[in-house]
Each structure stands twice: as structure tokens, then as C-alpha cells.
Amino acid sequence: MAKFPDPTKDYSGAPVDPNKPLMVSSPQPAEVPVYQAPEPSNPVGATRESPAPIPSQESPVRPYISPSPFRNLIPIIIGVAVVAILAILGFTVLPKLFKKTESITLNYWGLWEPNSVLQAVISDYEATNPGVKINYSMQSPKNYRSRLQSAINSGTGAPDIARIHNTWLPMLRASLTPAPETVVPSTTLDLYYPIVKKNASAGGKIYALPLGIDGLALFYNEDILKEQGATPPSDWNTLRKLAFDLTKINAETKVIERAGAAIGTTGNIDHWSDILGLLILQNSGDPGKPSSTAVQDALTFYTIFSSQDKSWDSTQPNSIYAFATGTVAMILAPSWQIPEIKAINPDLKFGVAPAPTLPSTNLAWASYWMEAVPKSSANSEVAWKFIKYLSSEDVLQKIYAGAAQVHVVGEPYPLTSMSNLLSNDPLVSPFITQAPNYSSWYLTDRTFDEGINDQLIKYYEDAVNAINDGSTVSSILKTLDEGVTQILTKFPEAK
């Protein structure tokens, strides 16, 4: 039985009156005992008794004994042994004791965060590890995965630490060095949300660790929802009806003057493929099998917002810009879009809520980044020790604070033990609330991987566009199914 509402249902109620005004809106150290010198056994002023004189007596005459001819060899043998021992120490142990420690330089490729965000924690690490130098550089996301792969394969210019997306392990596992069990035990993943264990490990080995967790949540315009007397919808059926009611269409031109929700198209919606992927997973579907009923229902429901309800269409501006300027009431986006929205319109009153769900499911969509060690690194163990340091609670808090100074908010913490630290932040806490239910697949937007995500997204994009142009879902399934199968064949580790 399909979980989605009847796609044939046509809302006949009139949308909001288009003439109605548009509202835009460190513990203290333990005391060290003072050393007290012991009292001398012979205090000052005390005198020792002189031994009594021995009476002089004549010694009896002893017979003459001839000395041993070997007695002079003993000092010689001892001297030779001492010289030999000193020679051994001089050529082996002593050089190691006085040898100058060689410095190790780790090149660290990051994304999104400028040097200022990580410099403080890097300096702290270098201060306590004087033999290690960290060179951090923020890479451009353009062609990043391809550039990283080429550098690892050639062994020229590859970093010792690299940031990778949570969906990249099927493409990169053979090019990465897993964490040594002595540095990062396999039980470490038990400290993270369940999705991390699925994305960061393979064959019982850890290949990456995240410094944050993120995914899709519902962004809503507080003034527009208040105007309608509505609250943020928690399920898709309520969201669809609310999006229809909030949409304003010009009676004469039929142009959408205010959209209810940015759902239904591809070209003008950021993260549209993530939204579709979430619908498929919540409907118990497998995006790798497009011909299944669950995937077909998800495609139908996604496109119904634009093809039937007219709550959004291809004439609208980019979804993030539209939301920031008050021309769409609701969008779905990750936490890192908050700074962009605030930069466009600092005065916008908006809230964030967990993403809507379908009946009998609480799945949410994850998209985040992790730190890994390429196999080309000559200092992989040292690199993993640094990643372990970055992953500690106190360092994660410092990184978040540094990122918040640059981006307004930092990336939500990936450790379950830190969930309460962001509970009072109304914009970030929803991402943590749904974190235990995060899931993901290879339909993640904005990874720029030129690989499994981008290639699969292209086939689904063509399918959505065809449906919006009037094709039936059944008519596009053959091409979609063949394309998806072809891409997954290229990445056999994908699951």
C-alpha cells in the first residue's frame, strides 16, 4: 500500500488571494609535597670517638709465598672489557640519544573552511608535538575528487590528509589507508551516529572520521506561516496541502508570485536530488532499482508539486535566493545554507524543523564530509594520530567556535555524546534531533565528484524533467533503469 497521498487528488480550493499583501520577511593541579632533606646521621657539633690504640706487638715470622704470575692480567682484562663496552655504546646507543629529531610535515587538504578556522587547533597540536608540522590548504570544490584521485595515483602532490564525502568510499577505498587499530580502534565508531559506521568503514576497518554531521531539514518563513495560522509540517501530506494554500498566483498572468514550497523541478532547486532520494528511502524504495513501485511513487509525488499543484515551477528563481527574499515559504536544505540565507537577507525571520516523514518511518537524509588518509602518504600513522586529535570533543568545540565566527554557525557535532551542546540553538538543533535516523545514497547534490553521485543524478534529472514536460512515469522507466544499472556496475562497492 503506497505511503504517499493519492496523486490524483486535485486541490480545488482557491489559493491565497493574490491581492493580499505579500509578507517578506581545567581542574586545579594537585599540591606537590615539598621535599625535606633527611637529618644527617652525624649532626654538626658531634664528634666521633677515636678507636683505641692497638698495643704494639711483634708479628710472628711468616713463610715467603711467591706471587701468582697471572695477577697483573686481571686489570688488563677489565680495562679491555670497559673499552669494548664504551665502543659499543659510542657506535650504537649514544648516537640515537643525541641525534636530532627529524620534523614530519603533513599536507592537509580541506574544503569549505579557511585556514583561520583550523589554525588555532593546528598550532596547539604542533606545540605538543614539536616533530610534526601541519600544512593546511582549503581546496576548491571544482574537480576536487578527480584532482585528489589523480594526485594519489601519480604519487605527486597528494596530501597526507584529505576531506572526502560520506558517499565516496566506494570510489576511493582502494586509494586510502585505513586507521591502525592501535591509533583508532574499530570500537571508535560506536561513539558516532549510526550512519557514520555505515559510511566510514569497510571490511571491519575505519577509513575516515567526520568532524561534523549534516543533512536535509525544513526551512520555513515564520511570517508567511504565521499569516496562514500554520505550524511547520512534520509529514509530507501536510506539507503538500500547506504549500498549495500558501501559493499566490496572479489571476491574469497565471504567474506564481509566491511559491508554497521549492519541490518538483531540478534546475532551480538546490538539493533537489537529495529531496527525491529522501522520498524514495522513506517509501522503502531502492534508488538503484528505479522500476520498483516505491521509486515510481516517489517520482510521482515529487513532481506533483510542479506538474499538478503548481506550488512551484521552473520559472522561479533559485530556491535558496527565493527563500531568502520571501518568494517561497518552505525549502529543504542542509545547515551550511544558513549563512548564505542570512547573507542575502539578514532580516529574514525563518525557522528550521526536522524534515517531513511518511507514515511508519522516521528516516532523514544525511550529507556530510570526513577526513581520510590517502595510501600515497609516507606518514600515514602520524596522519591518523592527527585525525584522532581533531576528532576529540574539546577540539571539535574549538573548530565549531571558529567556524561560527566565519559562517554564523558551525557544522553540527558528529559524536552522540555532544548532542546536548547544540540543543538550545533553534537553527542547528533540528539537524541533531534527526541525526540518529540519518540515511543516505548516491543522489547527493553538491559533491562535485564527477563520479557516482553526479552520474546517477543526471539520469534522475532527465527523468524528472521528462515528467514535468508531460511524459508519464512508466514511459521514462526503461531509460532510467538502464542508466542507473550502468553507473552502479562501474562502482561495484556501492550499496
To which CATH superfamily is domain 104-213+368-432 assigned? Periplasmic binding protein-like II (3.40.190.10)
pTM attached to this predicted model = 0.82
Range of lowest pLDDT (60-69, 239-248, 460-469): 60-69
Q: Where along the chain do its domains lie?
A: 104-213+368-432, 217-365+451-490
Residue in 351, 320, 347, 318 with CA at minimum distance from that of residue 333: 320
Which pLDDT score, from 0 to 100, does residue 285 have?
Answer: 98
Q: 405: buried, middle or exposed (CB in 10 Å: 19+, 13-18, 0-12)?
A: exposed
Q: Is 354 helix (H, G, I), strand (E, B) or coil?
A: strand
Asked whether the beta carbons of 431 and 412 are under 8 A apart, the reply is yes
Q: How far apart are CA 276 and CA 144, in angstroms?
A: 25
Q: Are strands 104-111 and 161-165 parallel, antiparallel or unpaired?
A: parallel
Provide the pLDDT confidence category of residue 387 given band limits of 50, 70 and 90. Answer: very high
Average pLDDT, the chain: 87
Overall residue count recorded for the chain in this entry = 495
What cell was used for 67? 706471587
Read off the pLDDT of each residue in 59-72 and give the average, rounded to a whole number: 47
Which pLDDT score, from 0 to 100, does residue 13 have?
Answer: 53
Provide the pLDDT confidence category of residue 102 given band limits of 50, 70 and 90. Answer: confident
Which pLDDT score, from 0 to 100, does residue 257 have?
Answer: 97
Asked if the model's pLDDT at residue 19 lies above 90, the reply is: no
Q: Angle at CA 397, nearest 5°, toward 396 and 399?
A: 65
Q: Is 16 helix (H, G, I), strand (E, B) or coil?
A: coil
Q: Do domains 104-213+368-432 and 217-365+451-490 have the same CATH topology?
A: yes
Residue in 194, 192, 184, 187 with CA at minimum distance from that of residue 211: 192
Amino acid at 179: A
Read off the pLDDT of each residue in 426-455 and give the average, rounded to a whole number: 97
The DSSP bridge partners found for residue 259 are 328
Residue 337 is given by DSSP the state G
Asked if the model's pLDDT at residue 23 lies above 70, the reply is: no
Asked if the model's pLDDT at residue 152 lies above 60, the reply is: yes
Q: How far apart are CA 347 and CA 490, in angstroms?
A: 47
Read off the pLDDT of each residue in 257-261 and give the average, rounded to a whole number: 98
Residue 386 is given by DSSP the state H
H or E element, residue 256: strand 256-261
Give the fold, CATH level 3, of 217-365+451-490: D-Maltodextrin-Binding Protein; domain 2 (3.40.190)
Q: Write the pLDDT tens digit of every residue in 32-58.
A: 343 343 444 444 333 344 344 444 444
Q: Write the pLDDT tens digit of every residue in 313-370.
A: 999 999 999 999 999 999 999 999 999 999 999 999 999 999 999 999 999 999 999 9
Asked if the model's pLDDT at residue 293 lies above 80, the reply is: yes
Which pLDDT score, from 0 to 100, does residue 495 have?
Answer: 79
